[in-house]
Chains A and B, each alone.
Chain A
Amino acid sequence: MATSIPANVEPFDDDEAVYSKVTFWTRLRRHKLAIAGIVVLALIALCAILAPLLAPFDPNAIDNVHWQGTPLPPCFQDHVLCGGHPLGTDAVGRDLLSRLLFGARISLQIGIYTVLFEVIIGVIVGALAGYYGGWVDWLIMRITDVFLSIPLLPLLLVLTAIVAASSNKAALSFWVIVVIIGALSWPTVARLVRASFLVLREREFAEAARAVGNGDLRIIFRHLLPNAVAPIVVQATLDVANVIVLESTLSFLGFGIQPPTASWGNMLSDAQANLQIAWWAAVFPGLCILFTVLSINYIGDGLRDALDPNMR
């Protein structure tokens, strides 16, 4: 009963869904830069997935044969001295290209897992606030106010520094970073979901779903959430880019992914100390971050245009 009636009540919304699915693809295809972004990101993701196959060397192994204490240059600069390392080595003689490939895994995974975590919390909290309103809404909004008032990077640095101080820096594992960044960045998502829910819960289909006796949970997740997906998807995409930059900044400052695990951020941290003798170690990891972040931002921009041109 409960499944057949809402389907009869909201035929209009189903039409709308079909219509918007068609326009979504045509609009997204028109956004050339978003398509370019998808292609570049897919290539980077492929490199990350196939890193163990593609990497010419072990990312953490020191080349004892060629390395004599100074970083080896890339092969296109000096094909004799490079010792077979296509992009040269870092200061302690580890292959730069292999480290870049494995670094891509860290950056993309941190981005994806953190945003997943952030979206789950944000959706639950935002849905509670928007659906129930009243004091629940008031309380949740005040809490998000607090989180949005404390600048993210300094707060992240303090939390990671405290974790590092309480045991040691090795405690800053991949998952600790994911949890810390995710736990601090959900308020934006929560606010978006709340704003959509405030509008959606007053719509006829929500009332109809209530009238046929659906429970709150079912209405929230089955009826309201699917209609609030567009802004969440856009925000989540842009947040993957933000998180990648945040992680690389933390790692660069020494409070993110810890060596010897390669991350683009901590590679740049090593490169800064050797800026005088190894330009390649400073240039390539940064280009990787730039292109990854740029393509994700363009995808986010394209999604925003495609999903709802009025959302800007």
Chain B
Amino acid sequence: MFTYVVRRTLAAIPLLLLISIILFVILNNAPGGPLAPYLQNPHITPADIERLKHNLGLDKPIWYRYVVWLGQILHGDFGYSTSNSEPVLQAIWERLPATLELMGVAFIVSLTIGLSAGIFSAVRPYSLWDYCITTLAFFGQSMPVFWFALMLQLLFSVHTIPLPGGYAIFLPSAGISTTDTFDLGDRIEHLIMPVIVLSLLNLALYSRFMRSSLLEVMQTDYMRTAAAKGLSRRAILFKHGLKNALIPVVTIVALSLPGVLGGAIVTETIFAWPGAGRMFYAALQNSDIALMMGYLLILAVAVVFCNLGADILYAWLDPRVAYD
């Protein structure tokens, strides 16, 4: 097991290098290159551009610049964010807690609801409930995330829904809190809509996978044996069924994590959530290329490590997987 982990981790290094090369090439061969934002500025003369190119080392061969750039990245220097006036890594680091708060809650919500819904429909296959859940999951996967967010804002922030007794559901549509001091109720109110939106996609994915995986396990011989032994339905389901059905689901869950980071860009932008995703969107609009690349690189590293984690978890959970 240990050698397996070491070998897989070492295999991730060339992949990460390749990712960095491709991102570097895209950045440098994009029309205009890294100086693109300056080319539009009428106050910057061609002579200034030449001087900038020389000062930034852009007149050196591309492989040389890549090595220098990689060296800086490895030392934690991701460049300087022009839109935030601070180093890229620091800018991302400062906004990470808000993003992680949103992602963490959304992850827990989508995991609990998604898995329960999947189990619920798998134990009653082809029933009305199963049909409703699978249809909802299909809707969830087909719905554009940003439109779902708009509809929630329309329903709960713009046109509040009146309830009997004079109450009404009103949810704040932007930001992380209204007060400067910490107020748990207020924080939770602000979390509700972004969390629903961010969980939607994975909720649908998890429930569909959980359902098909459990359905497959239910047809195996050992489940029939367990039933023949006279075990209760509950014991069969939880002790024999779920344990085995969860193995492939774990992989999907690990692989879906980076997608949440991508979804956070849209969600945070719409709900004005002060996280890294919203900052990334601001960087796009301000042509802050250093920040864009830094964010992309961190996302790619997260994907590689999630894949690695999924492989290792799978090998650890399923004894049938050979390590070598």
Contacts and interface: CB of A to CB of B under 8 A. Distances in A.
Asked whether A and B interact, the reply is yes
Nearest to A288: B147
B284 A158 contact: yes
A66 to B, nearest CB: 24
A272 interface: yes
A228 interface: no
Contacts of B265: 153-154, 157
Interface stretch (A86-94, A201-209, A290-298): A290-298
B127 interface: no
A280 to B, nearest CB: 10
B219 to A, nearest CB: 14
Contacts of B23: 150
Which of A142, A155, A168 is the most central at the interface, judged by chain B CB atoms within 10 Å of its CB?
A155
User: Chain B binding site: helix, strand, loop or mixed by DSSP?
Assistant: helix
Interface string B279-296: 011001101010011011
A146 B19 contact: yes
Contacts, number: 145
Contacts of A245: 142, 144
B144 A254 contact: no
Interface stretch (B191-199, B239-247, B254-262, B311-319): B254-262
Interface in B264-308: 265-266, 269-270, 280-281, 284-285, 287, 289, 292-293, 295-296, 299-300, 303-304, 307
A275 B154 contact: yes
Indicate the member of B293, B300, B307 with the most A CB atoms within 10 Å: B300
A241 interface: yes
Interface in A100-114: none
Given A149-B19, A161-B292, A166-B31, A268 B150 contact: yes
A229 B272 CA distance: 45
A165 B40 contact: yes
B144 A249 contact: yes
B192 to A, nearest CB: 18
Nearest to B30: A162
Contacts of A164: 287
A159 B26 contact: yes
Given A161-B287, A241-B142, A293-B142, A150 B299 contact: yes
A248 B293 CA distance: 23
B250 to A, nearest CB: 19
Contact of A268 (B30, B147, B292): B147
A275 B157 CA distance: 10
A131 B132 CA distance: 44
B18 interface: yes
B54 interface: no
User: Contact size class for A?
Assistant: 35 or more
B281 to A, nearest CB: 7
A71 B36 CA distance: 38
B154 A249 contact: no
Nearest to B270: A272
Nearest to A294: B142
Interface in A110-150: 142-143, 145-146, 149-150
A285 B150 CA distance: 12
Nearest to A297: B142
Contact of A165 (B147, B261, B287): B287
Nearest to A244: B144
Contact of A150 (B19, B27, B145, B147): B19
Given A146-B15, A285-B147, 19 more contacts: A145-B15, A146-B22, A150-B23, A150-B296, A150-B299, A153-B263, A154-B261, A163-B31, A165-B36, A166-B30, A166-B31, A167-B31, A167-B32, A253-B146, A253-B284, A254-B285, A268-B150, A279-B159, A294-B139
Interface of B: 14-15, 18-19, 22-23, 26-27, 30-32, 36-37, 39-40, 138-139, 141-147, 150-151, 153-154, 158-159, 212, 258-259, 261-263, 265-266, 269-270, 280-281, 284-285, 287, 289, 292-293, 295-296, 299-300, 303-304, 307
